[in-house]
Structures are given as structure tokens and as C-alpha cells.
Amino acid sequence: MGRRLPSLNALKAFEAAARLESFTDAAAELFVTHAAVSRHVRDLEEWLGTELFRRTGRGVELTEAGRRYALRLTPLFDELADATREAAAVGDVRQLKVTVEPSIASRWLVPRLGRFNELHPDIELAIDPTSRLADFRSGEADVGIRYGAGTWGDVEAAKLTDAMIFPVCAPKLLTGRDALKPPDLADFNLLHESRKQWWADWLAAAGVSGVEDWRGTVFQNHLAIEAAEAGQGFALADQVLATDSLLDGWLVRPFGFDMKDHWHYWIVRGKGQKETPPVRAFREWLMGEIADTNRKFAQLTGQKPAAVAARPVSS
């Protein structure tokens, strides 16, 4: 009979949270969001059929079952880390350097990397979260993930998916506000990414007037979405950056209207460069993960999933 074990990602999240006595500190150590740690711990509790943490107003506390479980797990993870370092020292490990925009890295890619590592233990990922397009010819990166029009010079790009733009906010922001309509956004703080035109575009596409699209706080990268999770106002998000938080209940989507952006998500590499086996493995895995996110978003909204493209397009 095979071993009956829960998800390794769930175990990692629990062990870190128990050792650090904090979901927030565990998220920082694992390079994932607080919501991801919370989701993994909840999944593990459901798998075990027992409560591991007691949620309090000040944070979380280990239950007796959680304390005993953590005492057994931490030495096992230490031993596993040692064994992995020894194997990597003598194994034929291939490194893959991935450049990715910070918002995509922290809100979507990093929480999923465990699945890639399980599928391809012989590929060692080096993730560089940066907004600057890497120089592929110099070997600075092998492959990248970008959001934009796909018109970058000296790269080949394959469109991963369209982006559907919609407002999101924390559930507590809607307390006492039944049947909220888009014009009611005039009563709330608008949270902007660096592309401040987004709100004007969405309001126009939704046929909304009377809302001052220019007002509110401006953030870089994904911080507007995180500010929305904290209850500071309404942000515009897309299905890639927001689906996990929608599923976890950190965000809600009060309106049913989505705007299809003229920018897309792309996987990019140096123009004319041959697709190596590690790059191909990463591209195929990436397409599957994007498709899974689109399916989950479609289930939430009752819509048809956005298509995932695969053919390279020279820019």
C-alpha cells in the first residue's frame, strides 16, 4: 500500500507557520501571499480532520494537535533539505533563469512553483522578479513572463492568455451596502496601478458616468490589489492576479462586467534562440497553470474560460 500523505505545499506552509508562529512571517519565508499560507493550512486541516491553529483576534495559536504535529515535521523537513542539497551536489541539475514581473511573481507564479519542482526535479529555477525586460542574448535570462502589448524588441513572444479587467474590494467594504452598482464607486476610494488610465477605460466600457476616475491612491505593481484586500478601496484586477484571492474570500467581485484589456500575458525568450528542453518544460507547465486559473475564474463567474494560446509570435 502506498504512503498516504497530504500535499507537500500544505505541509511546508503549516511547518513554517508553526515554527514562526505567524502566517505573515511564513508567507515572507516561502515567498507566497498570506492568503496562500492560510489556504494551505486550511486544506491540511480538512485533510487531517483536525484543527491545527486556533484563530484569534491577535493572529493564530497552535492547538495541542498542531503543536505535536509541528514537533515531528520540522526535523523531517530539515533532514529532507539536507538530503536534497546532497543530491543536488552530485546530480545532473539544469538551471533555468526566469525573469518575471514582480506582480505576476508574487501573486501568481511563486505559489505554484512547488508543482513545477515536483514534475521537474532536475530543473533548478532561478526567479528574477523585475519590471525590466531582460537581455536574453547575454544569458541574463532563459525565458520570461510579461504583461503588455507584445511589441518588445529582439524577443519572441507567445501569448499565454487575455486579461479580463474588473473591480475588486475586500468583503468588509460592502457591509451595509446591498446591491451595489458601478455608479456607487463614486462613494469609495479608487486604487490605481501605475497605469492610471485603467479606471477611465473600465468605467467607459461599463457605461458609467459621474465617477471621477482620476482620484484615489496610485501604487506600483500589484500593491493596489493588496490595498484592496486590506479594505482601503476598490482596485482593478484581472483573473490571473485575483482568482486565488477571490477563491480564498480575501476579495469579492461586486459587479458582473469584465473589460477585455488590449494587453495580454506573454511568455518570452530571445528572438531566434532555440527552445531548450527546460524552456519547453516550463512553457508547457505554465500554459497548463494559466489554463487552470482561467477555468477556476470561469467557475466563479459562470463564463467561458479564456483561451490559452501557444504559438510563438515574433515581435
The pLDDT tens digits for 81-117 are 877 766 655 556 689 999 999 999 999 999 999 999 9
- pLDDT exceeds cutoff 80 at 315: no
pLDDT band at 311 (very low <50, low <70, confident <90, very high): very low
Q: For residue 26, what are the CA distances in angstroms to 10, 241, 275? A: 12, 21, 36
Q: What are phi and psi of 169, to 5 degrees?
A: -155, 170
Place of cell 505554465: 286
Q: What is the pLDDT of residue 96?
A: 94
The pLDDT tens digits for 243-274 are 999 999 999 999 989 999 999 999 999 988 88
pLDDT band at 310 (very low <50, low <70, confident <90, very high): very low
Is 255 exposed, middle or buried (CB count within 10 Å of its CB: 0-12, 13-18, 19+)? middle
Q: Which amino acid is at 93?
A: V
Q: Are 159 and 265 in contact, with CB atoms under 8 Å apart?
A: yes
Nearest to 226 by CA among 102, 87, 68, 100: 102
Q: For residue 243, what are the CA distances in angstroms to 3, 47, 198, 213, 305? A: 32, 23, 19, 24, 13
Mean pLDDT score, 152-158? 88
Q: Is 49 left (phi over 0), alpha (psi -120 to 50) or beta?
A: left
pLDDT band at 163 (very low <50, low <70, confident <90, very high): very high
Q: What is the pLDDT of residue 1?
A: 54
In this prediction the pTM is 0.67
Partners of 55 in the beta sheet?
A: 60
CA distance 245 to 297: 11
Ranking 43-57, 154-168, 295-309 by mean pLDDT, the lowest is 295-309
Mean pLDDT score, 274-279? 89
Is 130 exposed, middle or buried (CB count within 10 Å of its CB: 0-12, 13-18, 19+)? middle
Q: How many residues does the chain have?
A: 315
C-alpha cell at 81: 533539505
